[in-house]
Amino acid sequence: MGKTRFILPNAFTSMNFLLGVFSICWVTGAFPSKNPILMGAYFIILCVLLDKLDGFAARLVNASSEFGAQFDSLADLIAFGLAPAFCVIFAYKSMVPDFFDANTPMMAVALSVYVLCAAMRLAKYNACDSENYHHHFSGLPSTFAGAVNAILVVFLMNKGVFADPNSSLIFLPVIIMFITGILMVSPLFLPKLQPRKNKAFNYFQAVLIVITYIAGFMFISQSLYVLTYLLILVACYMVIGFTIGLVQRNKIIEEANAVAKEK
């Protein structure tokens, strides 16, 4: 198969990279659209759905490489770092311009924190975490951070929050962007979605993943049921996952140290 085996995983990474770029283009108005924020958020969700396929393809054809790892991180920075930040900021700028102008410093700080934390989280993963933590994420993965921000913006847009600058929820997207940025570089642990010893749990996990992929592709419909399901899903995963990570923290660190000593 030779070097051609690297084409498939890098093709998925390329799609992620380009979808992230398209998201930025759409939300900033570079391309005409009736609902640029929705389109930008949808591209981010598509990136989330495609994110694991490059790694799966690389393992399938035995095409893992240092180039692939670096390319994947660069694509993730665009898709889950820059694109969600632009989506949130331009949601405010296009729908509540007076509110945006009055709170520009806050927007700039939140955007800076989120993007910098995404970059540091991806660099840290490549440098340390990918080899030491096999069953847990150290900090919130940029994939989930991007998903949370994209889903929340469209959900609140659907609820009419951006149509009312006096709404008590108007600050929520920028606050969540700031919090998810901090969580990406936090010392908290989150269990990975992996096969477990419990077969019933594995079946449940598989069904949940299938339903989530279907809901993700239906995101463009703006169905309140789809948006609510996705928002509850990511929120539950984060809350329950981080709680489990806190309970098992010492065990996780001990296992990581043992792995590091074996190298």
End-to-end CA distance of the chain: 30
d(CA 226, CA 212): 9
Return the SS3 of 190: strand
In the chain, the percentage of residues whose pLDDT exceeds 70 is 90
Greatest mean pLDDT among 46-55, 133-142, 240-249: 240-249
Question: 63: pLDDT confidence band, cut at 50, 70 and 90?
Answer: low
Return the SS3 of 13: helix
DSSP H helical segments within the chain, as ranges?
7-27, 36-60, 66-76, 83-95, 97-102, 104-124, 130-132, 142-158, 172-184, 199-217, 224-247, 249-262
* Chain segment 143-171, per-residue pLDDT in tens: 999 999 999 999 999 999 998 888 889 99
| pLDDT for position 2 | 53
Please, is 103 exposed, middle or buried when counting C-beta atoms within 10 Å of its C-beta (0-12, 13-18, 19+)? Answer: middle
Mean pLDDT of 28-34: 87
Q: Residue 97: pLDDT above 70?
A: yes
Integer angstrom CA distances of residue 22 from 32, 215, 238: 12, 21, 27
Q: Residue 1: pLDDT above 60?
A: no
Q: Residue 211: pLDDT above 80?
A: yes
d(CA 143, CA 84): 10
Q: Residue 62: pLDDT above 70?
A: no
Q: Which of 28, 23, 42, 38 is nearest to 93 (CA)?
A: 28
Q: Which of 70, 25, 20, 27 is nearest to 50 (CA)?
A: 20
Mean pLDDT of 74-101: 94
- What single-letter DSSP state applies at residue 65? -
Mean pLDDT of 174-184: 96
For the chain, what is the mean pLDDT? 87
Integer angstrom CA distances of residue 241 from 50, 127, 174, 247: 22, 23, 23, 10
The dihedrals phi and psi of 52, each to the nearest 5 degrees, come to -80, -10
- Do the beta carbons of residue 224 and residue 158 sit within 8 Å? yes
Please, is 153 exposed, middle or buried when counting C-beta atoms within 10 Å of its C-beta (0-12, 13-18, 19+)? Answer: buried
Q: Residue 129: pLDDT above 60?
A: no
Mean pLDDT of 239-245: 92
**139: left (phi > 0), else alpha (psi -120 to 50), else beta?**
left
pTM over 0.85: yes
Q: Which two tokens stand for residue 114?
A: 């989120």
- Do the beta carbons of residue 36 and residue 29 sit within 8 Å? yes
* Chain segment 50-59, per-residue pLDDT in tens: 887 766 666 6
Give me the amino acid identity at 132.
N
Q: Residue 18: pLDDT above 80?
A: yes
| pLDDT for position 261 | 67
